[in-house]
Amino acid sequence: MVTIRDVAKEAGVSVATVSRVINGSGYAHIDTKKAVDLAVSKLQYKPNEVARSLYKRKSKLIGLILPDITNPFFPELSRGVEDYLQRRGYRLIIGNSDGKQEKEREYINTFSQNNIIGIIASTSEYNDRNYKDLNMPVVLLDRTTEDLPAVYADQHAGGELAAAALMERGSKEIVIVRGPITIKPVRERYQSALELLQNTEGVNVQVLDSTLSFQGAKSCAKELFDKYPKTDGVIACNDIVASAILQEGLRLGRLIPEDLQIIGYDDIPMCALLYPALSTIRQPAYEMGEVAAESLIKMINKEPLTEQHIKLDVAFIDRQTTRKGM
Amino acid sequence: MVTIRDVAKEAGVSVATVSRVINGSGYAHIDTKKAVDLAVSKLQYKPNEVARSLYKRKSKLIGLILPDITNPFFPELSRGVEDYLQRRGYRLIIGNSDGKQEKEREYINTFSQNNIIGIIASTSEYNDRNYKDLNMPVVLLDRTTEDLPAVYADQHAGGELAAAALMERGSKEIVIVRGPITIKPVRERYQSALELLQNTEGVNVQVLDSTLSFQGAKSCAKELFDKYPKTDGVIACNDIVASAILQEGLRLGRLIPEDLQIIGYDDIPMCALLYPALSTIRQPAYEMGEVAAESLIKMINKEPLTEQHIKLDVAFIDRQTTRKGM
DNA sequence: TTGTAGGCGTTATCAT
DNA sequence: ATGATAACGCCTACAA
C-alpha cells in the first residue's frame, strides 16, 4: 500500500504539503504542486479513506435500509439513491431489514461504527425511534414521521385514483385487496380507496387481506374468486398481487377488462409486459430515491431543506386491465 | 461518542485491558472482566470500526459489484450474498456497474480505499484484469475466468435443457432470442441451445438479437413475429424477453403452448404469476449468492477452497408455456 | 494479570 | 510556502 509518506518522499516534500495539495487546502507553490501531482500519479497514490474517516470522524459512506430488495418496487428506488450518490463520490452500504426492528437496529449500529454520515431508510412503522436520536442526518423514504425529513409518494391520491378509475369505468362490485396495514403507505392507499368507494352510491365494496410478496399472492388470488365470485373490479395493494389476480381471473375464464377490471400499485416494470398489460398506480420509485439522496446530501452539507416532507405525485397508468373509451 | 478511554476510566483499568476483554485476546482477571463488561454496557460502548480498520488494515466490509440490480435476476442473488454475510457480521457495499469498465474500476478503487476485505463481482467479461492484481480475495459470480474463483450456474446444461424441452414437445420452427453475446453466460446458453438444435434433423433454427432489459424486450417481441411468423417455439435469453414474447404472441392470437411454445431463462419470481405461467430454465440465484459469499469468507479466513469453480445446477421448470403429456 | 507506548494513514495547527 | 507534530480511536508488543 502506498501512503502519503511515500508520495512525500518521492516528491521531496513533507506529508503536510502533500496533504495540502491533494485536498486543495492551504498554500502550495506551483512547482511543488506539480512535483506532488507527478509523484501521486507515478505511485498511483490513493488516499486511505479509513484514515481520513478516523481523523475527520466522518466518511463518504451512506447507509440505505430497505425492507427487501427482492420486492420489485425497491430495485428502482435503490438505483435512484445509488446513482445520485455515486456521481457525488459517496458509497452505499445496504441493508435488508425484512421490516424487523432488530435487524434494522443492528444495521444502524454498524453504520455508526463505520462513521457513516447519513442514512436513508425505508423502515417499517414504529421503528422510528431507532432513528430519532442518531446524531446524523436521516431521510425517510416511502415513509413519514412527524419529526424526520421524508420523501414519499402521495398514497392518498393513489388510493383515490385507483378507486375513481374503477368506478368511472363502471365497476360495481369492487374488492380492495389490502396489504399489511402495519405498513403506513400501504394502509393509506387502502384507506383512501375504501373511503371513496364507500361514499359512492351503487358500489359494493369488500376487503381482502394479503401480503405484498410473491409467496402470498397466489393463494390470495384464489381466495378472492372463491369468496367474491361476482367481483367486477379489484384494487390490489401492489402489482405482484394484481398479477396473481389477473392470472387467476384469466384461468377462470374471466374477460379482462370486460368482466373484471384490475388495478395494481407501484408500476413495476413488469406491468407493461403482462397480457393484458396491467393498469396501475405509478409511484416514481427511481425519482423518490434520487430526491431522498439529494435531501440527505443537503442535510450533510448543512444546507437548509426547503421542505421537510417531500410528497411526489402518483399517476394512474391506463393500460389494458381497465376499460377504454368512456 | 464514547471511546475505549471512557470505558477504561469507568472501569478503573487501562485501555489495553479493555481492549483485551472486548476482543477476548490475552488474559484478564475475572473481576476486571466483569468491571469492564459493566462499564461497556453502562456506557453503551461500541468499538469504532474505523479505528480498528485503520490499525488492522482490514475492515468487515465486503464489496458487491452487480451489472444492474434493476434486472430481476439480481435482487435474489444479492440477498443470497447479503443474508449470508450479515449473519457473520460483515457488511455489504454495493455498486451497479451497468457493465461499464470505468464504473467498475471506480468502485473497486473506493472499495480498496475503504479497506474492504473482499469483493464479489458479477462483472461483464473482459473486465477481469480489474481484479487480477487486487491483493484481496475476489469471487466471481455468474461469471468465470481462468484465474479467479467463481460461482456460476451451468449455462451449457441450461441451453441444452431449453432446446431439448422444446424439441421433445414438438416445436419445429424455433427461434433463439439471443442476448448480448459479450456477456459470457448469456452467450454460452445461446451456443449450447443452438448447437443442439442445429444437430437435430427436421428442426429449423433462427436467431434474433435482443437486450436483456425491459426497454428492449417489447420491440424484440414485435420483430420476432414480424420476421418469423411461422415460429412454433422460442428460447428467450431471459424471462423478461420471454414475457414480452408471450405478451405479443397472445396479442396476435397465438395459442400458447399449442401453437407456440416459449421458454425463458432465470426463473425470476414473476414467471409463476404470468398467464400462462412461464416455463423457464431456473438458475438458483439466491443459492449462488450464498455460495459465493461462503467462498469469499473462506478465502478471507485463509481456508482452502475445495473447488475454485463451483458450478451450480440449473433446471427446466415446466409450467404452462410448454406442452404437457408427451 | 495489567499498563505504557508506539503506530495504523491522514489532517490540521502552529511554527518557521 | 513549507515542515514538524499532535491528534483521530484502536490494538498489540513489551515491560512490569
What are the extents of the domains in chain A? Answer: 4-47, 61-153+285-313, 155-283
Distance of CA A86 to the CA centre of its chain: 16
* Residues β-bridged to residue B312: B153
Look at strands A315-317 and A280-282 and give their pairing: antiparallel
The answer to whether the Cβ–Cβ distance between A75 and B76 falls below 8 Å is no
- Outline where chain B has alpha helix (H): 4-11, 15-23, 30-43, 49-56, 74-87, 101-113, 129-132, 155-168, 184-198, 214-227, 239-251, 285-300
**Which bases of strand D sit closer than 7 A to a protein CB?**
1-5, 7-14
Residue type, A51: A
The answer to whether the Cβ–Cβ distance between A269 and B70 falls below 8 Å is yes
Q: Is the CB of B29 under 7 A from strand D?
A: no
Q: Which of B79, B93, B218 sits opposite A70 (nearest CB)?
A: B79
> How high is the pLDDT of residue A321?
98
| DSSP letter for each residue of A191-208 | HHHHHHHHTSTT-EEEEE
> How high is the pLDDT of residue B321?
98
Query: Which candidate in A114, A243, A271 is best for mutational testing of the B interface (most B CBs within 10 A)?
Result: A114
- The residues near B272 (Cβ < 8 Å, ≥ 6 apart) are A214, A218, B278, B319
The answer to whether the Cβ–Cβ distance between B273 and A244 falls below 8 Å is yes
- Outline where chain A has alpha helix (H): 4-11, 15-23, 30-43, 49-56, 73-87, 101-113, 129-132, 155-168, 184-198, 214-227, 239-251, 285-300
CATH fold of B4-47 = 434 Repressor (Amino-terminal Domain) (1.10.260)
> How high is the pLDDT of residue B87?
95
Distance from CA of A200 to the nearest CA of B (A): 32
Question: Which nucleotide lies nearest residue B15, CA to C1'?
Answer: C3
- The residues near B280 (Cβ < 8 Å, ≥ 6 apart) are B239, B242, B263, B264, B265, B266, B267, B271, B316, B317, B319
If DSSP codes are grouped into helix, strand and coil, which group holds residue A40? helix
- The residues near B19 (Cβ < 8 Å, ≥ 6 apart) are B4, B25
The answer to whether the Cβ–Cβ distance between B270 and A243 falls below 8 Å is yes
Pick the CATH number of A61-153+285-313 from 1.10.10.60, 3.40.50.150, 3.40.50.2300, 3.30.465.10: 3.40.50.2300
Strand D-proximal residues of A, range 34-63, CB below 7 A, are: 51, 54-55, 57
CATH superfamily for A155-283 is Response regulator (3.40.50.2300)
What is the pTM assigned to this prediction? 0.95
Q: A4-47 and A61-153+285-313 share one CATH topology?
A: no
Residues of A in contact with B82 (CB under 8 A): 94-96
CB B236 within 8 A of CB B189: no
Per-residue pLDDT tens over the stretch B179-217 = 999 999 999 999 999 999 999 999 999 999 999 999 999
Query: Which candidate in B46, B50, B120 is best for mutational testing of the A interface (most A CBs within 10 A)?
Result: B50
**Which bases of strand C sit closer than 7 A to a protein CB?**
1-5, 7-14
Q: Which of B69, B218, B243 sits opposite A75 (nearest CB)?
A: B69
Q: Is the CB of A25 under 7 A from strand D?
A: no
Q: Is the CB of B1 under 7 A from strand D?
A: yes
How deeply is B204 buried, as exposed, middle or buried, from its count of CB atoms within 10 A (0-12, 13-18, 19+)? middle
pLDDT, one tens digit for every residue, chain A (326 residues): 999 999 999 999 999 999 999 999 989 999 999 999 999 999 999 999 999 999 999 999 999 999 999 999 999 999 999 999 999 999 999 999 999 999 999 999 999 999 999 999 998 766 667 787 788 999 999 988 888 999 999 999 999 999 999 999 999 999 999 999 999 999 999 999 999 999 999 999 999 999 999 999 999 999 999 999 999 999 999 999 999 999 999 999 999 999 999 999 999 999 999 999 999 999 999 999 999 999 999 999 999 999 999 999 999 999 999 998 65
- The residues near B156 (Cβ < 8 Å, ≥ 6 apart) are B188, B189, B192
* Helix-helix angle A15-23:A4-11, to 10 degrees: 100
Flag residues of chain B having pLDDT under 50.
none
**What is the C-alpha to C-alpha distance for residues B165 and B148, in angstroms, rounded to an integer?**
33
